[in-house]
Amino acid sequence: MPRRILCAVALLAALDCVGDEAQVRPPAGTGGSVDCPEELTGCGAECVDLNLDPQHCGACDSPCPEGELCSIAQCSVECLGGTTQCGDRCVDTEVDPQNCGMCGITCMQGQDCVTGGCCPFGETFCDSACTDILTDPLNCGGCGDPCSAEAPVCINGSCLPPASSCLEHLMNNPAAPSGVYPLATVSAYCDMTTDSGGWTLVLAYAHVGGQNNPLVVGAPPIDPVGGYSHASIAHLQALPHTEIRLYCRTSAHTRKIHFKTSTQAVDYFRGLATNSPAYWTTGFTPLEEHTGYLPLIADGFFDQPGEDRMTEFPFYLGATYHWGIKGLGNRWECDDYPNNESNTTLHQVWVR
């Protein structure tokens, strides 16, 4: 059989004819000498798109003849498959950040080309504007998919009815992931996984050692590992719940406090009862990662009349193990007693 016919057969079989020998071509996305994203192929030291690259059209080192373009992995005098000619290349202007929407429109740093428009990473171009289809009720889950009056809230790309708590959101959608959800009057962070989920975050203090930032009272936190805020007593009274969950960790040691309780500690936090050590030492349930001595061995407590019930030493073992968040003005303590702000700590309170 003539050599040119052998080469043609080899080409169809994804082989390269070099001299009188045939070499197996690397499969798309995995070959070459470099690691490439899934949609690209390694050709030598380059990552290329075999669908569009005129020097590697359909296969590595398979250039198109002069005057032809590479489109959908084949050489042609025109762009095929909905692609557009921009210079000497065929591009998909729906997703090409160098030719977004039309040739020559380049997206800025921090932007991506989505459906023909330059948008910040994570957003989608809908009707001449960028939006987050995970939260936009007019484009919930996709452009032009509005939520209804019965389910007006867009959460993670799904339309949901209003809810009074994170637990109600979870009951309405058992597959709901953790994240920020709208409640009756505010937004709140919902933990949908821990201890069967449905927990509403009402306090989150991420304290950096050596700092003494002011507390923000009356602002329900929406970041469980950032900020210095907690809900007000009025908000806690309006938020339906029968359980509280406390968590803290510190840079000073490896112990963690993590437990839930449905004792009168719930009412103490929302200003409906006075405090007592028995609220903390009995009736609590240790949760994942709980290794702290508290609350079991607590022998003391502060009984605060104001908004600092969750922060100002609600339980402790005197001068040994404390729960404190800017306690007495400068003490950040988690199952220990540094008596200052030197350690980096994270405190959280959740309700359900």
pLDDT band at 33 (very low <50, low <70, confident <90, very high): low
pLDDT at 30 over 80: no
Angle at 228 between CA 299 and CA 132, to 5 degrees: 135
Beta-bridge mates of residue 129: 126
pLDDT digits (tens, 9 = 90+) for 195-216: 999 999 999 999 999 999 999 9
CA–CA gap between residue 295 and residue 30 (Å, rounded): 55
Those residues whose C-beta lies under 8 Å from the C-beta of residue 138, and which sit 6 or more positions away, are: 131, 146, 147
Cα dihedral across residues 104, 107, 109, 115: positive or negative: negative
Q: Where are the domains of the chain?
A: 3-89, 199-351
- Average pLDDT score over residue span 74-90: 89
Long-range pairs, 236-239, Cβ under 8 A, ≥24: 236/202, 236/269, 236/270, 236/271, 236/351, 237/270, 237/271, 237/272, 238/184, 238/185, 239/164, 239/165, 239/183, 239/200, 239/202, 239/351
pTM: 0.66
| Closest to 91 (Cα-Cα) out of 46, 39, 120, 52 | 52
State pLDDT tens for residues 235-262. Answer: 999 999 999 999 999 999 999 999 999 9
Alpha carbons 318 and 308: distance in angstroms, whole number: 19
Tokens of 318: 């005197």
Kindly write down the DSSP assignment for every residue of 283-343, as one continuous string.
Answer: SEEE-TT---STTTT--B----SSTTTTTS-SSEETTTEEEEEEETTTEEEEEE---SS-S
Tokens of 304: 């605060």
